[in-house]
Amino acid sequence: MSQKSSKRMWRNSILGIAVLLAVGLAFGYSFIVRWVHTSKSQTDDQQIKMNSNAMRSLSSMKSLNQKPKPMSIVRHGSNVSINIYTEETMVSIAPGVQFPAWTFDGTVPGPVLYLQQGDHVTLTLHNLDPNMPHSIDLHAAQVAPNEAFTEVAPGKSKTIRFNSSTPGVFMYHCETMPMALHIAQGMYGAVVVTPKGQKPPTYTIVQSEFYKPMDLNAILNDPPNFVVFNGEANRYVNKPLNAKVGQPITVAFVNAGPNDFSAFHVVGTIERDVQASGNPRNNLYDVQTYTVAPGDGALIHLKFDEPGIYSFVDHSMSAMSKGALGRFVVTN
C-alpha cells in the first residue's frame, strides 16, 4: 500500500467518525430537547391541556352566537327593577376552548344580582333565544315556584316579584327541563343579598363544571372536562385577585354544580369566619376547608397576615387539576 492511499484511508476514517459523531449528537440533542419539553408539559397544566384538546374539536360546532345583552338594574329606594336576558352565546372556558353556551346576558356565569336585605324586587326575564324556552329559579326568592319559575317561550317575557327578606349568598339558574342540561350549558349565577348596614362582598366567585356541550348523557354519567371559578379554567392564576396585609376580605362563593360538591380552601391561611348560605346567623369560625354543595353558597371572611401569593382551590384534587384554582396576591 502506497503512502498516499494509506493517508486517504486514514482521512476517510476520520471523516466517517466525525459524521457518526455529528449524527449521534444531533439525535441525542433532539431526544434531550423532547424529553425536557415533555416533562415540562407533564407538570404544567397537563390535565387542562388534555381536556382542552378533547373539547376543542367540539367547540367548532356551528352554534348560534347572540351578542351579549347586559341586564339593567334600577333602584328607587328599596324598589329594585331588573331586566335580564336569556340567549345563546359562545364563551371562552379554557385557553383556546370556546363553548356554545346557553346564558343569562351572554356570559357564564350570568351577572351577579347585588341586592340589599328588604328590597322589593321586580325581575323581568326576556327570552331572546329563538330555539327554546328558558326560566329563572332564584334561591333568594320565597315564592310559589309553579307560578314564578315557569318557562318563558322564545321571544316572550315574564315578570317575577319577590322580597329579598333573607340575607345570603344564593344561586339562581334556569329551571327548564332537562335542568341538568340547562345548568351545564351555563345558565346560572349568584344573587348576593347584603344584610342591612353591611357592605357587599369584596369578591364574588361562582364555581361550576363544564362537560361536553349539549350532551346530557355526559353530564349525568361522565366526570367534568373542566371545573372553573367564574366561567374559565384557572381564570385567577394569571389574573389574580388582590388583597392587602391585614385587610378583611369577604368572598361570596356559590357552587352552581351541576353535580359536584366544592371543598373551598385557601392555601396559607384559615377561613376566619364562614357564614353558611351567606347568612350572618350561620357562623363557623376558623375553618380550614369549607364544603359548598351544588346549589348552595357561603360568605367567607379572610385576612392575610403576610404578603405573598395565596392559592385558592377546590381541594378535591381532580377539580383543582381541571381548573378550580386561583390566586390572591397579598401586598403590604
Nearer to Cu ion, 184 or 228 (CB): 184
AA letter at 12: N
- Cβ at position 174, least distance to Cu ion in Å: 3
Q: Whose CB is nearest to Cu ion?
A: 174
List residues near Cu ion by CB under 5 A.
134, 174, 176, 182, 187
Per the CB < 8 A criterion, the answer to whether 110 and 189 are in contact is: yes
Nearer to Cu ion, 181 or 227 (CB): 181
- Cβ at position 152, least distance to Cu ion in Å: 9
Q: Could you tell me which of 138, 239, 243 has the C-alpha nearest to residue 201?
A: 243
Nearer to Cu ion, 22 or 177 (CB): 177
AA letter at 192: V
Q: Which triple of cell numbers denotes residue 36?
A: 425536557
- Cβ at position 301, least distance to Cu ion in Å: 34
- Cβ at position 134, least distance to Cu ion in Å: 3
Distance CA 261, CA 258 (A): 9
- Cβ at position 30, least distance to Cu ion in Å: 52
Nearer to Cu ion, 176 or 255 (CB): 176
Distance CA 172, CA 183 (A): 10
Q: Is 306 exposed, middle or buried (0-12, 13-18, 19+ CB in 10 A)?
A: exposed
Nearer to Cu ion, 148 or 174 (CB): 174
Nearer to Cu ion, 129 or 296 (CB): 129
Residues 6+ apart with CB under 8 A from 58: 212, 213
Q: How many CB atoms lie within 10 A of CB 156?
A: 11
- Cβ at position 102, least distance to Cu ion in Å: 5
Distance CA 109, CA 105 (A): 9
